[in-house]
Amino acid sequence: MLAALARSLLDFALPRVCLACDGGHGDASPEAEDDPHRFVCDACLESLRPLPHPQCGRCGHPTRRGRPCPLCPHLPPAITWGRSALWATDAGPRALLHAFKYDGWPALDAVLTDWVAPLGPPDVPACRRGVLVPVPMAAVKQRERGYNQAERLARALGRRWKWPVRTDLVVKTRGTRAQARLHGAERAANIQGCFAPVPGARLHRLHCVLVDDVVTTGATLAECATALAGAGADSISFITFGRARAPGER
């Protein structure tokens, strides 16, 4: 009762503002802690569109019939399956991702997971155990930000899939420049060799699903997957909320 009253007073003092369009809205009940309308208005939620079909059977990238997948050549053989929900460069997803990643709104994980959860989980052989592995951040950056957005997304997804989340398998060993500011070969060089398996981590018979907010060139996922595979992970997949278009795509 007191918590609900406090939230109501806060809403009165600070009216709800959509994090995607900055428009005011008051759709949600203050009791609905997981209601996406706490953060995003109806119009913005309804404007979100899933990635188009057809898609690559391996990595889920939209493809034109008869043409090769533009993302698969940049992924290591260890990655056998991948999926993303929306184009990260569209206005709505871009605004949500910016708020989630940079503006201090980790609770947007509930909104993003509504889109990510239906994409999987991938099929896992009975002899293996599926686990979610958030792409790690450098310790300094995580302290500055206060959270790892990939881990927030993985934990929300884990609750939906009923899968465990493992943050004790791979670490980021050094800081890197922001990938969003780099292009092509710069991204690969920037991230090369920066992930390593946790000493003593046991990955045998695990199917590791890497979780991140966005896949752009695949460089980060490729490096992380290579570290896991080198430490003995039996199979590796990835899942993200957003995906960047390949050069020349619209």
Tell me the pLDDT tens digit for each residue of 86-133.
999 999 999 999 999 999 999 999 999 999 999 999 999 888 999 999
Residue 245 sits at the vertex; the CA angle it makes with 222 and 213, to the nearest 5 degrees, is 55
Question: Where residue 37 falls among pLDDT bands split at 50, 70, 90?
Answer: low
List C-alpha distances in Å: 249 to 60, 62, 63, 89.
Answer: 15, 10, 10, 11
Distance CA 180, CA 117 (A): 25
pLDDT at 65: 82
Helix (H, G, I), strand (E, B) or coil at 40: coil
Tell me the pLDDT tens digit for each residue of 129-163.
999 999 999 888 899 999 999 999 999 999 999 99
Predicted TM-score (pTM) of the model is 0.86
Distance CA 133, CA 32 (A): 29
Maximum average pLDDT range among 79-88, 139-148, 216-225: 79-88
Which among 23, 22, 26, 24 is positioned nearest to 8, based on CA atoms? 26
Distance CA 66, CA 72 (A): 15
pLDDT at 163: 98
List C-alpha distances in Å: 166 to 77, 158, 229.
Answer: 22, 10, 15
